[in-house]
Amino acid sequence: MSLIFSGIQPTGNLHLGNYLGAIRNWVRLQDDHDCLFCVVDMHAITLWQEPADLHRATREVTAALMAAGIDPEKHILFNQSQVPQHAELAWIFNCVARVGWLNRMTQFKEKAGKHKEKASVGLYVYPTLMAADILAYKATHVPVGEDQKQHLELAQQIAAKFNHDYDTDLFPELEPLIFGEGTRVMSLRDGSSKMSKSDTSDYSRINMTDDVDTITHKIRKARTDPHPLPDNPEVFDDRPEAGNLVAIYAALAERTRAEVLAEWGGANFADFKQALAELAAEVLGPINAEMNRLMADPAAIDAVLGRGARRARELAEPVVEEVYNTVGFVRPGAS
């Protein structure tokens, strides 16, 4: 059976892109697979985080995952910093990955902006820690949104080079799982940039914590064009904002864009936006309520993370031990 690993950063608000691109797929995969879901607090500090904000966001993201349907009894839910094997393996991978490979990472370029030399070293080696997250468990399948694809290709490259250099088959091949109509949810204000926690305009995204009125207001204000909805999705190349709203509707309704347009083709956007707002509120409302309920008991959330971390350590420890032996580090008791 394949082992699933995925991660999410506790920075700022979770939004509809996180939910449709990742979290909802994680919930589905739980039925047929063993899964590890990690709140990646060590990745978060590659950009500055106020300690109190990071602390609160780690609990909030954990509560959101549980509210969305992640089951911490059947699967493993934990925060990264409680499992030292991630950082240990990341160091090994820093010595396997090549500077040229990291130089190609588009997300570093985006996040570092114009002042690359002022970015943290952690931001630069972010993808090697991500590779370590997955490979510390020899996980094989990684459900993510489209934006993480390049990082996963790098993780595959690192695993292959490690296996080659040390003449071993220690690490398995990885398979990204990018599926559904919501793999790349775009900003509500600009159809050419993705919906993101770091966008300065809150109107660009629907947060998982937004109430019904806010969701309705943001969708009503979302950018579109003056034309009615088309009959088929092919025309969306020239109408990115319209295409984005239809993709969001399809993902929320668990239908294809073609099915949505079969129903809505020819309609005007005002009616469609109203239906979309109702659908989004219907999906997010119960998650929001459950999240608030869970957040009222932070000690229970910490206990979930603590238990998850213990189980994660048990799995990761022998893998890192195997890596250390392979590399040639002296270990007591090892031959």
| The only residue of 46, 58, 79, 183 in contact with ligand TYM, by rule CB under 6 A | 183
Is 177 a binding residue for ligand TYM by CB under 6 A? The answer is no
Site string for ligand TYM, 300-329 (x = CB under 6 A): ------------------------------
Task: Return the structure tokens found at 26.
Answer: 């994680």
Strand 76-79 and strand 141-143: pairing? unpaired
Active site residue 197: yes
Q: What's 19's DSSP letter?
A: I
- Best CA proximity match to 105, nearest among 95, 88, 119, 84: 119
Judge whether 331 and 325 are in contact, CB under 8 Å: yes
Give 18 or 79: the residue with its C-beta nearer to ligand TYM: 18
Neighbours of 182 (CB within 10 A): 23
The Cα–Cα gap between 28 and 31 comes to: 6
| The only residue of 147, 278, 317, 322 in contact with ligand TYM, by rule CB under 6 A | 147
Q: How far is the CB of 228 from ligand TYM (least distance, A)?
A: 26
Distances (CA, A) of 55 to 42, 51, 242, 295: 12, 6, 37, 13
Is 43 a binding residue for ligand TYM by CB under 6 A? The answer is yes
| The only residue of 161, 184, 189, 217 in contact with ligand TYM, by rule CB under 6 A | 184
Catalytic residue among 109, 111, 114, 118: 111
Active site residue 194: yes
Is 159 a binding residue for ligand TYM by CB under 6 A? The answer is no
User: Using only C-alpha atoms, what is the Rg of the chain?
Assistant: 21
Residue 77's Cα: distance from chain center in Å? 14
Name residue 174's amino acid.
Answer: L
Active site residue 111: yes
Catalytic residue among 74, 109, 194, 218: 194
| The only residue of 77, 83, 141, 145 in contact with ligand TYM, by rule CB under 6 A | 145
Judge whether 40 and 10 are in contact, CB under 8 Å: yes
Q: How far is the CB of 334 from ligand TYM (least distance, A)?
A: 28
In the complex, which residues of this chain contact ligand TYM (CB under 6 A)? Answer: 5-9, 17-18, 21-22, 40, 43, 130, 133-134, 142, 144-145, 147-148, 151, 182-185, 194-195
Residues annotated as catalytic are: 111, 194, 197
